[in-house]
Amino acid sequence: MIHAIGLTKTFETRKGAVEAVRGVRIEVAEGEIVAFLGPNGAGKTTTMRLLTTLLKPTSGTATIAGHDLFADPTGVRRRIGYVAQGATVSPMGYVGEDLEVQARLYGLRPAEARARVREVLAQLDLTGVEQRVAGSLSGGQRRRVDIAMGLLHRPALLFLDEPTTGLDPQSRANLWGHIRRLRDDEGVTVFFSTHYLDEADALCDRVLIIDHGRIVTEGTPAQLKAGIGPDATLDDVFLTVTGRELREEAVA
Amino acid sequence: MSPSALILARYYLRATFRSKFAILFTAIQPILFLVLFGPLFDRSGVGSWGALVPGLLIQLALMSAGLAGFGIVLDQRFGVLERLRVTPASRTSLLLGRVLKDSVVLLVQAVLVITLGYAFGLRAPAGGVLLGLALIVMLAVGLASFSYAVALTIDQELFPPLMSTALVPLMLLSGALLPMSLAPAWLDVLSRLTPFRYVVEALRSLFTGSYTSAEVGWGVLVSVLFLLVGVLLGTRLFQRENA
Ligand SMILES: Nc1ncnc2c1ncn2[C@@H]1O[C@H](COP(=O)(O)OP(=O)(O)OP(=O)(O)O)[C@@H](O)[C@H]1O
Ligand SMILES: [Mg+2]
């Protein structure tokens, strides 16, 4: 589903170049759920924006959902869903109407779009918010509207950038269930980032950890934990591969 | 026209017409000029309503379509633009959806100004007014596209002050308020270097019923060029940074 080789992204800023992503290789098979972990500023969002056609890589190549990122970005866009880390809806917009327009942009006819919006809202426990403006929803409800936006067109590959930030435990568990069902019932491939390691552990088949723009480790949660020692948690793995300097500083 | 552009245009229009006050508010300047300055102008011997109303229409276009870019600043801030850029909708239709909306809004406002003009004493043939409206819409497409291009290029905070400051000299130099025939030579030359002068003069010619004058030819030519450059530039900026 994702074959990316040698992806790099360097931002030119006033204070000089920022190498946000430095030669990343990502392989994700169809139907996999992959967790993308890394400390703040590691390059998770930038990598996702590269893979979703939003940023032009400084170098590297990628085939996403069967389409070349450079040769056929529209083909990629048709098959992927992307839920960004930040806001994606205007606070003044009416939820139902905004979702419907989003669905129509993917080619759904008006009646299909309306039915699909109702279906997705129900799946995310949002029934009844259609007539409300996004600004009047709670943070967690708004986050679920963001997620609904990415699901309308039944993408084969779903990118979720910290989807559960701001959700209560109940909504979070619901979303996990929903993501698992998407994969089990519809074969959707899911690539998501998170700072909650229990979430990664509970949900994913495989973990990718990025730090300073490089993939520092990858494998199934069980493999990674076994590599650290008996009774190791994913937290231990994470701190071992990304927190070395931090610990050394703490000791010194 | 691609379906995406129409879907988006209808969506933006619904949102815009939800607050009718805002539509009136962007048209308030030309309306004030019409009501509080028009009667003076009409008696000054400089020109009649037929000269003033076309000028006010250009002023309206600059204030309405010219400031359209502000809408995208908000879309950018709320992450809406990024979400739309991941959909398969073509980059041109992301631009045209907005621009079509801006053109329809301008058309409604222009009809309002012209109707008011008639109430005050404008006497222009219906054919000329209709052709004038067509020209105004063409100009609006170009202007709004330019406005989005600027909004996507410069700092978010800079856009409103910069754009409204840039539009005032362009409006004055077009001879919208007083005909440029009164201007000293240097001002006349400067005015000829700005695009909107040609459109004002074409509109004035249309409003007097001469549809085949040189002024009309120049006005149409300038508007078409402006439209093409505006749309190409706008589309390129929607594409920028994309893979
Ligand atoms: N548009 C940009 N211009 C300049 N630098 C940028 C830009 N976007 C990101 N960066 C920089 O690139 C690096 C990686 O940022 P990125 O947003 O990908 O991190 P992240 O892993 O998603 O972090 P977080 O967990 O905080 O969301 C950071 O140093 C960031 O400051
Ligand atoms: Mg991030």
Q: Which residue in B15, B79, B90 is closest to A88 by CB distance?
A: B79
Q: Which residue in B7, B78, B86 is closest to A101 by CB distance?
A: B7
* Mean pLDDT of the A88-107 span: 95
Q: Please tell me the distance between residue A26's alpha carbon and the centre of ligand 1 in angstroms.
A: 18
Q: Please tell me the distance between residue A214's alpha carbon and the centre of ligand 1 in angstroms.
A: 13
Model pLDDT, residue B26: 81
Q: Please tell me the distance between residue B207's alpha carbon and the centre of ligand 1 in angstroms.
A: 56
Contact B147, B67 (CB under 8 A): yes
pLDDT of B173 strictly over 60 = yes
Model pLDDT, residue B71: 87
In this predicted model, what pLDDT tens digit does every residue of A171-187 receive, in sequence order?
Answer: 888 888 888 988 999 89
Q: Share the mean pLDDT of chain B.
A: 90
Q: Which residues from A are below 8 Å from B when comparing CB atoms?
A: 50, 52-57, 69-70, 73-74, 76-78, 80, 82, 84, 86-93, 97, 101-102, 104-107, 149
In this predicted model, what pLDDT tens digit does every residue of A28-68 receive, in sequence order?
Answer: 999 999 999 999 999 999 999 999 999 999 999 999 999 99
Distance from CA of A76 to the nearest CA of B (A): 8
A106, B15: Cβ pair inside 8 Å? no
Cα–Cα distances (Å) from B167 to A144, B49, B221, in that order, read: 42, 23, 21
Ligand 1: which of A10, A24, A46 to mutate, judged by most atoms within 8 Å of the beta carbon?
Answer: A46
Distance from C-alpha of B1 to C-alpha of A232, rounded to nearest angstrom: 59
Q: Which residues line ligand 1 (CB under 6 A)?
A: A 11, 13, 18, 20, 38, 40-46, 85
* Mean pLDDT of the A111-140 span: 93
List Cβ neighbours of B58 (8 Å cut-off, separation of 6 or more).
B139, B171, B174, B176, B196, B199, B200, B203
* Mean pLDDT of the A121-143 span: 91
DSSP B35: I
Taken in order of first residue, the domains within chain A and their CATH numbers are: 2-251 (3.40.50.300)
Model pLDDT, residue B241: 59
- Angle, helices B70-77/B126-153, rounded to nearest 10 degrees: 40
Contact B213, B131 (CB under 8 A): no
Using the structure block, give the residue that is written with the tokens 């552990």.
A201
* Mean pLDDT of the B72-85 span: 91
pTM: 0.88
Least confident span in A94-103, A227-236, B49-58, B226-235: A227-236
A101, B86: Cβ pair inside 8 Å? no
Using the structure block, give the residue that is written with the tokens 């590691």.
A42
pLDDT of A234 strictly over 50 = yes
Which atom of ligand 1 sits closest to the CA of residue A210? 21
* Mean pLDDT of the B121-132 span: 92
Count of domains forming chain B: 1
Query: B residues 1-20 near A, CB within 8 Å?
Result: 3-4, 7-8, 11, 14-15
Model pLDDT, residue B61: 92
- The chain A residue lying nearest B90, using CA atoms, is A74
Least confident span in A87-91, B55-59, B69-73: B69-73
Q: Please tell me the distance between residue A108's alpha carbon and the centre of ligand 2 in angstroms.
A: 30
Residues around ion ligand 2, judged by CB within 5 A, are: A 44-45, 85
A88, B83: Cβ pair inside 8 Å? yes
Q: Work out whether strand A189-193 and strand A33-37 pair parallel, antiparallel, or are unpaired.
A: parallel
Confidence of residue A245 (pLDDT cuts 50, 70, 90): low
Distance from C-alpha of A150 to C-alpha of A159, rounded to nearest angstrom: 8
Range of the domain at B104: 3-241
B22 touches chain A (CB under 8 A): no
Nearest to B86 by CA among A65, A193, A187, A11: A65
| Terminal alpha carbon distance of chain A | 45
pLDDT of B35 strictly over 80 = yes
Which atom of ligand 1 sits closest to the CA of residue A47? 18
Confidence of residue B243 (pLDDT cuts 50, 70, 90): very low
A74, B88: Cβ pair inside 8 Å? yes
Confidence of residue B1 (pLDDT cuts 50, 70, 90): low
